[in-house]
Structure 1
Amino acid sequence: MTEELQRPRIGCGAAVLDAQGRLLLVKRVKNPEADHWGVPGGKLDWGEAAKTCAEREIEEELGIRITAGRVLAVTDMVAPDYHWVAITYRVEGFTGEPAIQEAHAMHDWGWFPLDALPSPLTAATRDAVDALSATP
């Protein structure tokens, strides 16, 4: 493994809730956690602020514009073949209707009640849901 591959990666996503309190989830194509349901987001680019990354990635992937608010969770995902740190924001508002814009990144998407989430969930999504459930 080269030194470049050994560096941790940073992913930024956001918990988008609709007017009914349902959470927007996407089914991932790529590893880590391929075929898991998770909050939308993607990898942080060099020189980019984490909150900006979450907003950009969600617009690129789903075609909706979000306003990222406070950090809900920070998740460490460390395994022999990957090391990611995922930052998940709570969305303050969004405009547009979700639609898959990047089929290479996700298989599917949907709105899910917090008490009826699909399985399996990504680690970052589990942490975000725990944080959402702990706050009013």
Structure 2
Amino acid sequence: MAVDPRVDPAVSVVFVCHDGHGRVLLARRGAGARDEPGTWDTGAGALEHGESFADAVRREVREEYTADALDVETIDVRNVLRAGSHWVAVLNAVRVDPEAAAIGEPHKFDELGWFPLDALPSPLHSQLPATIEAFARWVRSNG
């Protein structure tokens, strides 16, 4: 499926869900995913008009993973330029209860898994390495 072409920059909230004990939650993108089906990725979604970053993250985590965001912290912002689109990605670290996580959007994802940062599955979504690098920096700085 083609990437949604955007002329003007749009804002997305990207979130790395973690369990607070070194594992991150990744979803394998299914056949109905917007791009790169079959790859593993964190969650993300577009910021809606009037919504705060944290509220957008909480909404998206519930939609994608059926879990409540227990802690939300913005950890990075970056420009993502791909195939005619420009997204301003606001990256967040989000602690969730692993027992509460499930696939909330089966038309987009076909598998979930918890992984330590040094044992991620493959193949990875093309944007995931930069996201994981920023998350790893945040983990190191928060001891």
Question: Do they superpose with TM above 0.5?
Answer: yes
Quote the offset at 1:36 in angstroms: 2.5
* Cα gap change, 1:126 to 1:75, in 2 (>3 Å): farther
Provide Cα deviations, 1:80-104, integer angstroms capped at 9, x if missing partner: 332222221112x434521112112
| Residue type at the aligned position of 1:80 | A
Q: Indicate if the aligned counterparts of 2:28 and 2:111 stay in contact, CA closer than 8 A.
A: yes
> 1:31 Cα shift?
2.8
Unaligned runs of 5+ in 2: none
Number of the residue aligned with 1:78: 81
Task: State the distance in 2 between where 1:124 and 1:52 align.
Answer: 23
Residues 1:59 and 1:38: Cα distance change in structure 2 (over 3 Å):
same
Structure 1 unaligned regions, length at least 5:
none
1:19–1:80 Cα change, 3 Å: closer
Segments ≥4 residues shifted beyond 6 Å = none
**TM-score normalised over the length of structure 2:** 0.77
Count the aligned residue pairs.
132
Pairing partner for 1:51 from 43, 51, 54: 54
Residue 94 of structure 1 is matched in structure 2 by 96
User: Partner of 2:121 in structure 1?
Assistant: 118
SS of equivalent to 1:115: coil
Summarize the Cα distance change of 1:14–1:120 in structure 2 as closer, same or farther, 3 Å threshold: same
Please, which moves more after superposition, 53-62 or 24-33?
24-33
Matched residue of 2:70: which SS? strand
Counterpart residue number, 2:25? 24
The offset of 1:68, in angstroms, is 4.3
2:43 paired residue number: 40
CA distance in 2 between partners of 1:128 and 1:83 (Å): 16
Match of 2:14 in 1: 13
Q: Normalised by the size of structure 1, how large is the TM-score?
A: 0.80
Shift of 1:59: 0.4
Identity of aligned pairs, percent?
Answer: 30
Q: Deviations over 1:56-79 (max 9, x none)?
A: 011011110003432222232212
The answer as to whether partners of 2:43 and 2:61 remain within 8 angstroms in 1 is yes
Q: Which amino acid counterpart does residue 46 of structure 2 have in structure 1? A: K
Q: Give RMSD over aligned pairs.
A: 2.3
- 8 Å CA contact 1:26, 1:38 repeated in 2: yes
Give me the whole-angstrom Cα distance separating, in 1, the residues matched to 2:78 and 2:27: 18
